[in-house]
Amino acid sequence: MTLRGRVFVGAGVLIALAGMVLGLHDLTRVGALLVTLPLLASLLARRSVSLEVTRSLSPARVAIDGHADVTLRVRNTGRSTSPLLRAEEGLAYALGDRPHLLIPRLRRDEERALHYRVRSHVRGHHAIGELTVRTSDPFGLATRSVAVPGRDALVVLPRTLPLLPVRGVPAGSGGESASSPRMALHGEDDIGVREYRIGDDLRRIHWRSTARTGETMVRQDEEPARRRALVVLDDRARVHAGTGNGGSFEWAVTAAASITALLLGERFEVHLHLASDEVGRAVPLETIDLALDLLAAVQPSEQTSAQSMVEALEDFAQHGGGLVVTVIGALAHQDAELCAARAAHGLALVIDRGGFDAGSSGAADLTAQQLALGGWCSSVVRPGDQLPRLWEQLVVGRAAHR
């Protein structure tokens, strides 16, 4: 019941009592009517509303500070015409104020499209929905809220900054090379052959493979194995400080996203590992979209141990190795030594948690020094540091150590 309805009830009770005291039956009837109207309105507001809601987001993935247009399609699935409805769309806090919508009267099975726009400056997977509709009587004496099931999510991707390319990284020996399927199919002697296609030079026919398979085969220049890279992001809450986009965690996610995007663009086979991953093994990322989707969802973890990162470095080395890039917090002395021993000539951005917390503990500097003793190039990250500049220092330093 609305405030107006409660006022009607209160006034009706007083008027009815006054009528009974004064012996004025008409006044008593007026009071009874005022009490009855809100009660009838409450029954009217409780009538069932059958709606079906579907949403489409364009686009469904946006960059930070980008906007998305949401189309909300509302269909009346009830047997009768729905009343005029006021609605409020549920939104995650990061998407701003909740939009207030007006749904017109809908006949049975009629559908109406409503539109609004959302924008976020916060990375993440942000929920959209449920839709809450409010039914009321024509006089505004009573109202009822009904949640219509159905949720969607807007993916706000982490920022990626342009970075200096990494040169001089040899192809890793781990994983399957481009020739592996041909080796399994035709034998080791026939590596570098494929089926004949119209337009191929007949002088490149490989007669031994043709005789063995019964199909015309031609020689093909061997495809080079892809260079491999491992990107490690330390997502442990205990090594980060600050909040929002000015905190060290968002700085680290931006760094990991930018480095991953760079390496995938340079045609590396990129593996991504988080300190919170239970399995100390990184899985290769197939596309930049997959990488950014994963990093969009990353949140600070309550994990305290760095053991998973050490295991990921060891596993990566055992499967052929390659370029190792870490965005980490300060490590214990033993963990830093283990990381340095598991990978030669890695690149490390070490977060100075104290610097982001109005102080400096010096632990990040010690970690950077220990990694440097193991042959790594490392830089300490402090508030205000620009990723492109620090990355350039690491890349140039790596080239000088080669």
Ramachandran bin of 235, using left for φ above 0, alpha for ψ from -120 to 50, beta for the remaining angles: alpha
Report how far residue 176's alpha carbon sits from residue 320's, in angstroms, rounded to the nearest whole number.
10
For 226-279, how does the pLDDT look when each residue is reduced to its tens digit (9 = 90+)? 789 999 999 999 999 988 888 999 999 999 999 999 999 999 999 999 999 977
Q: Report pLDDT for 358.
A: 61
Report how far residue 400's alpha carbon sits from residue 77's, in angstroms, rounded to the nearest whole number.
70
Query: What stretches of 217-316 adopt beta strand conformation (E)?
Result: 217-219, 228-233, 269-274, 283-284
Q: Is the pLDDT of residue 198 over 80?
A: no
Q: Is the pLDDT of residue 368 over 90?
A: yes
Model confidence band, residue 188 (pLDDT cutoffs 50, 70, 90): very low
What percent of the chain has pLDDT above 90? Answer: 54
Chain mean pLDDT for the chain: 86
C-alpha 112, offset from chain centre: 30
| DSSP assignments along 179-227, one per residue | THHHHHHH-GGGTTEEE--TT--GGGB-HHHHHHHSS-EEE-PPPPPPP
Q: Give the number of C-alpha atoms closer than 13 A to the C-alpha of residue 20, restricted to the C-beta side.
A: 7
**Of all residues in the chain, what percent are helix, strand and coil, respectively (each to 5)?**
35, 25, 35
Residue 254 burial (CB count, 10 A)? 20
Q: Report pLDDT for 156.
A: 97
CATH superfamily, domain 51-157, is: Immunoglobulins (2.60.40.10)
Q: Is the separation of the CB atoms in 263 and 303 below 8 Å?
A: no
DSSP label at 234? -
Highest mean pLDDT among 22-26, 198-202, 223-227: 22-26
Report how far residue 251's alpha carbon sits from residue 124's, in angstroms, rounded to the nearest whole number.
14
C-alpha 215, offset from chain centre: 48
**Is the C-alpha dihedral spanning 12, 17, 18, 19 positive or negative?**
positive
Lowest mean pLDDT among 59-68, 140-149, 225-234, 352-361: 352-361
Residue ranges of the domains in the chain?
A: 3-45, 51-157, 180-219, 228-401
How would you class 279 by CB atoms within 10 Å of its CB: exposed for 0-12, middle for 13-18, buried for 19 or more?
exposed
Q: What is this structure's pTM?
A: 0.77
Q: What is the mean pLDDT of residues 46-60?
A: 89
For 295-332, how does the pLDDT look when each residue is reduced to its tens digit (9 = 90+)? 999 999 999 999 999 999 999 998 888 999 999 999 99
For 379-389, how does the pLDDT look when each residue is reduced to its tens digit (9 = 90+)? 999 999 999 99
**Residue 91 or 145, more confident:** 91
| DSSP assignments along 98-162, one per residue | PPEEEEPP--TT-EEEEEEEEE-SS-EEEEEEEEEEEEE-TTSS-EEEEEEP--EEEEEEPP---
Q: Report pLDDT for 181.
A: 41
Q: What is the mean pLDDT of residues 158-185?
A: 63
From the DSSP assignment, how many helices (H) and strands (E) are in the chain? Answer: 10, 17
Q: What is the mean pLDDT of residues 95-110?
A: 94
Report how far residue 225's alpha carbon sits from residue 213's, in angstroms, rounded to the nearest whole number.
26
**Fold topology of 228-401:** Rossmann fold (3.40.50)
Q: Is the pLDDT of residue 222 over 60?
A: no
Q: What is the mean pLDDT of residues 278-306?
A: 89
| DSSP assignments along 54-100, one per residue | EEEEESSEEETT-EEEEEEEEEE-SSSPPPPEEEEEEE-GGG-SPPE
Q: Report pLDDT for 361.
A: 64
Q: Is the pLDDT of residue 170 over 90?
A: no
For 342-364, how does the pLDDT look when each residue is reduced to its tens digit (9 = 90+)? 887 899 999 999 888 766 668 99
Model confidence band, residue 88 (pLDDT cutoffs 50, 70, 90): very high
Q: Report pLDDT for 313.
A: 94
Model confidence band, residue 221 (pLDDT cutoffs 50, 70, 90): low
